Structure 1
């Protein structure tokens, strides 16, 4: 599982030769040409099967994996059209598994996207890793993915994943076994020349791997403005605000942190006029404050973590607009912070949370688009006290 090893941070022991890369690229071009210009009419299912055949080719060879984003289109002139096709397939597959029952939908989507015994046999995983590579190839491909609703579709999935049930590994049943046959000869890896056997990853590792790649894709997409505007247009941006300030089971906390990471990325790169207007009109900050106030299941550290995400949004938006700072004031955000700090000051267990919260509030005082000057500067002193005389220095300094 070379792709899995690379994503998990393990050193890669093999590299494809330039000849292999060239052959892989030629094969990719031929397959895509057959998809775009078939000798006969192809049904949607046949088109999808043809596209699925291309995904292992795209992922297996390091034609694009280590290449600069600018060279992807140079090597594969149909890259943007390929991106459109792959994006459409991803959105279609996820929508097929979505339903009104959030738990059933989330399980079906996760089971489709997770890697199984073989990467190439895991269609959803191959689709996800292809999307991950394409998201690294620059604004043109990201715009293609945005046009096909990839960002909003993935954010909907992220929100559904808050309802995933706790992972339970299949129990191992001990039964009498006949004498074990001799161990099989490891299969030979044609690219590395080293023997290996495919072993299925434990469920927890597969879920962690999926979560890591999933948030990678969303973060890559949201470093551009168009995905944030698409989220606003599709009315899915508010899902992220609701997600970061909602309670979830402990086993799904990584998904809530992922939502916070995506929202922080949007605050740094995607705060266009339209996005700020959407956040204001949808009262997203008011929803966040209300969620934190009304939930009795959140720990002090969780609330501080939630407010840290909001603080980033207020800070980044304050460089261009006063709107969100005014929204935070209007929804009694400062009063909530004051009550929260006074409440936590009574609890010995909350000292660390209180310390972090004070630091965040200290930073909050520097946000804004207008420089605040102390009163009295026009008279030559910031503060005027009756009878006060400035002492003379005793030294020469």
Structure 2
């Protein structure tokens, strides 16, 4: 799938893709057009089922649409989502609700470490993309977040940005993978646990960066009082194996500072003394390496 080629970033991957693979996923190809027609049909049946569906049946139907959605729009211009899939806002709403629900379910009544492990396990890719519900859900949100502000607004209205920021903060407590476990690979999977974790970090931060390139998510974070979590995250201690998550928080906050500093957000930052919080956090971590300290200062100031 194109999403994986982009994330794994290899020129070799791109160059090794056959011309038939590329033509099959081109926006104007008959294969893509058929996929779009099927997606519309499936979503219509989802929103207007011939008989009442249980919550689990509804979730299963939505999960079954995600690989098709990613295949249809993964190689298309982002404007195609709105122009060619007229139910895109309703689809975005349902996908966003499902993500928030799945994360809350795994975080409820858990310790921070147990919650972080459960959420990461759900979101990481498994043996293949299509069979990994959490990964496909995150990949779908990643595509939706690359769309226009109407999609970002839908995602913000159901608390996707604040939910993902809470996850990011929880990921500071992920336990370290042992060297043996991190590099083990069984015959049914293309990825080691370490590779799964790296892929999760890449796509997770990409979703948040795309969201925070708009003003609406910043205001949602302020309204939900979760913006302080980002400020706290960039200047909090975390074990060395989780420093990538602190770097992710810094990238998200810097993106937000470029695009989301509306009057309500600026007012929130002042009223919550977010910068002072960062300075106090830095004072409390005596074991910070000089480079880490510099990175924190660059992000805050």
What is the RMSD computed on CA atoms of the aligned residues? 1.7
| Cross-structure match for 2:191 | 201
Cα distance in structure 2, aligned partners of 1:289 and 1:172 = 38
| Cross-structure match for 2:220 | 230
| TM-score for the superposition, normalised by structure 1 | 0.70
Contact 1:113 1:125 in 2 (8 A): yes
| Cross-structure match for 1:24 | 35
| Cross-structure match for 2:3 | 3
Q: 1:106 aligns with which of 116, 119, 124?
A: 116
More helix by share: 2
1:28 partner SS: helix
Contact 1:68 1:137 in 2 (8 A): no
Q: CA deviation at 1:303?
A: 1.0
| Cross-structure match for 1:67 | 76
Cα distance in structure 2, aligned partners of 1:255 and 1:171 = 17
Contact 2:92 2:151 in 1 (8 A): yes
Structure 2 unaligned segments of length 5 or more: list them.
Answer: none
Q: Deviations over 1:369-392 (max 9, x none)?
A: xxxxxxxxxxxxxxxxxxxxxxxx
Q: Deviations over 1:269-324 (max 9, x none)?
A: 0000000111111111111111111221212221111000011xxxxxxxxxxxxx
* Bigger RCO of structures 1 and 2 (CA < 8 A, at least 6 apart): 2
| TM-score for the superposition, normalised by structure 2 | 0.91
Cα distance in structure 2, aligned partners of 1:69 and 1:139 = 11
2:83 partner SS: helix
1:94 partner SS: helix
1:119 partner SS: coil
Cα distance in structure 1, aligned partners of 2:247 and 2:210 = 16
The 1:123–1:171 alpha-carbon spacing in structure 2 relative to 1, beyond 3 Å, is closer
Contact 2:219 2:260 in 1 (8 A): yes
2:177 partner SS: coil
Q: CA deviation at 1:198?
A: 6.2
1:170 partner SS: helix
Q: CA deviation at 1:30?
A: 0.6
| Cross-structure match for 2:257 | 267
Q: Larger Cα Rg: Structure 1 or Structure 2?
A: 1
The 1:292–1:132 alpha-carbon spacing in structure 2 relative to 1, beyond 3 Å, is same
Structure 1 unaligned segments of length 5 or more: list them.
Answer: 174-196, 312-397
Contact 2:182 2:194 in 1 (8 A): no
| Cross-structure match for 1:40 | 51
Cα distance in structure 2, aligned partners of 1:36 and 1:64 = 21
